[in-house]
Structure 1
Amino acid sequence: MRYNPGDSLLKHGVDAMDSETRSAEGVKGRKRLALLYSLLIVISVLFLCKVISFPVAFMLVVGRSMEPTYRVGDLVIGVATYLRGFSVGDVVVWCRDFWRTACVVHRVVRVSGEYVVTQGDANPGPDTPVLSSAVSYVVVAHVPAYVWLPLVVLAVGSTGYFSYRESGKRLSVQPGLVAIALVATYIVINAAILGFTYIDNSPPFYYTPRVELLSAHLDPVKMVYVVEINTTEYSFVEAVCKLLGEIPAAVVGVANGSITRLSIHIPAEFFSYLWNRTSARGVSFLPSPPVAVQESFSISCSVVFDKATLSGNYIAAFSWREPVVKSFNDTLIIENVNPVPLVLRIELFSKARGSTVFAREYRVERFSTLAIDFSNVAPAPGDYDARVYYTFLGVVRGQGARIVIK
């Protein structure tokens, strides 16, 4: 074979060109890898930013109490509260611990002084009030899991692929693959331990003392409304009550152990006011006597304890009743079972004469009985009719009873 110097020179040029091409592709591949590495590092740092109170942080949602706004696996992006304030309606991130590893993403429902009250959109009640200083981030955007998760998987997979291709070795583990494994492991661990922001579905962890209403009833005879309250954590101080929301009422409070008894005294004038009010309104229909008409009024109380104030509204109910008219031989008995006095006109009618032989007005006090002995006023023995007339709630009514004079 003859040696041709030209062939050697050509071969050398082709080899040089191949080397330059491979070198250019290697530089391009390394730049691509560097870009992917930088992207993964930035994502990892953004997950870690919540811990170091960075101005912007990524957090993952693992609870369901903010549905449908945020769902499990969604990525939320928060801006630190020292850069942007918050108000009612904003979604914020507040944390229980110093390192911000146990945090809550909920919506602000009330801001009162130094405290903030939040609530999950799907939760039936608010969370425990927290200090405003505990609120670390305001959520400004979120990315659904079905969007961000494929992108991260694509970035990690691309990094592994280009690192593997760049190494040119398929049977040995290259430093690039080790770096990919380390970065991916860091993302998983960081997301699982530091990045997750859980949605708090548990009840408030603070203890709320209970105040239990044992009984509430009206005693029209004693003209007092009695309220009994069971309080295990509070000590009674005083109570202020009003009738119909505006008329002051005297209150006597007595504490016996954990039970507080309130005696709300109802003035006699108040019952007269109710009587006149109902009389002015009128009663559409009254059956034959005796009848009862339901009456009610409201009582509002503010009960002051050593650690709290209890506000309550109560409804006191009773009935207006027509007087009970009955007789026993020559005696007429009339019972007034109302908390107001009644004015009666009593007539004694003689059947033998066919005329009225006695007529007089009487005032029967509240919850009292009137007894009239007709033996001294009847002109002669015989049968008589006692007729009792009165005005009941604006309606003139009457009852009768048989009187026998021996």
Structure 2
Amino acid sequence: MILTASLPFVAFVVWLLAVPMEGFLLTRLGADNAILFFLVPHVITLAVIGGGLPRRMLPPLAAVGGAAAVGSTLLIAQAPAGVPWFLSGAGVGSAFVCVKAGSILKRSPSVAASAAVGLVAANALLFVFMAVPVPHSVKFPAAAALLLVPILARSGVQDEADGESNLAPFLPFVFVFQIVSGLMYGALFQDYAAAAFLPGIELVFYVAAVMAGLVLLHRRREGLLALAIVMAMFAFSLVLIDGPASVNVALFAMQAAAGFLDLYLLALLLAQRDTCRAFGIGLAVTCAGIAAGKTASLLIGDASHLVVAVANLVLTSSVLVLYLVMRSERPPDAPAIPAMGDMAGMAETGAGEGGPPFEFMLPPGLRKRFSDQEKSVLACVVRGMTFKEAARELDISESSVKTYMKRIYDKMSVSGKEELLTKLGTEQRE
């Protein structure tokens, strides 16, 4: 089920990285810096989707938009002079396909694992796609055919009653990171292309970061964003050191930073209550940051010292602001959640009897993650009830209790009840 949910997303990302996002197929045509023709209409369309497009309209629009993106991809190969127009059409149409693929990811029994599998598989398949010794006249239709996977997939769009609603505080950091990432690649990639120890090896660092990030998700999701910023700062510190070794290590660090950032962003979007709105707004901000970074790199040109100075200033400020935002998510005066050793006492006395309701015993950062029904089920579990007892207490079926607990496990990135209770206590004490 994890692979099934990830497949439409994987196919879309491989197409995205092979063609419109300055992919190897596009650069072979000599269409340098054409990415903005794709990104600007893509951002606008994503913003419209996230701003209130009725969800029932997404599947038909994804079919129509996907067909337009497929046609545009085929036309790019046949008529390179029209690349700006074709990329603009692909930017509008593919936005609907992208959000649909993200919504299908949400159907996975393990959302975090599906996100990581999707990112790793997409980059691995892209490497294979690049390496296969067939003419580019064949690879363009193959890239277009990849879009058929999310277009034809059964829609994952559905009303969501559960999930978070804390998307806004962290999107500015994603936007800033994409700007400095664009600056970095503009200042570094040409040097790396000439000095690479082994072309393509940089993808290994991206994949390694995603896999490491999946483990770190079990502690605190925002830690991935902090790691992405720190790795990017490390990469920028190497830019001013002459020599092929520093160029290679700098790009490896940026690829690791991108891996942490991409997994963080996917985990954040998939945790939201309204997946379509989250993907629309979240990806619009992300792509706007990429477009701004690309524009800035074109304006600055080869002034690497200026790039490093500006980017490090922005990243250092971002780390400070991120720390303050994360602190605000966990106020120090929040009542404590009992640790594992205190569960027996709670089971005897009952949560909420003579004390505050369970919802207010959760720190605000956790409180926003759960729906009202999930909080009710979690309160029963914290009191030591079995699933059957919780079902009787809440007047719902035992299977419903198990479903709610599975969602709670996913949101907390844990594998079972004991790990959940331990993590609840840990997050409160931090």
| More relative contact order, 1 or 2 (CA 8 Å, 6+ apart) | 2
| TM-score for the superposition, normalised by structure 2 | 0.20
Structure (1/2) with the larger helix percentage? 2
TM-score normalised to the size of structure 1?
0.21
Tell which structure's C-alpha radius of gyration is larger.
Answer: 1
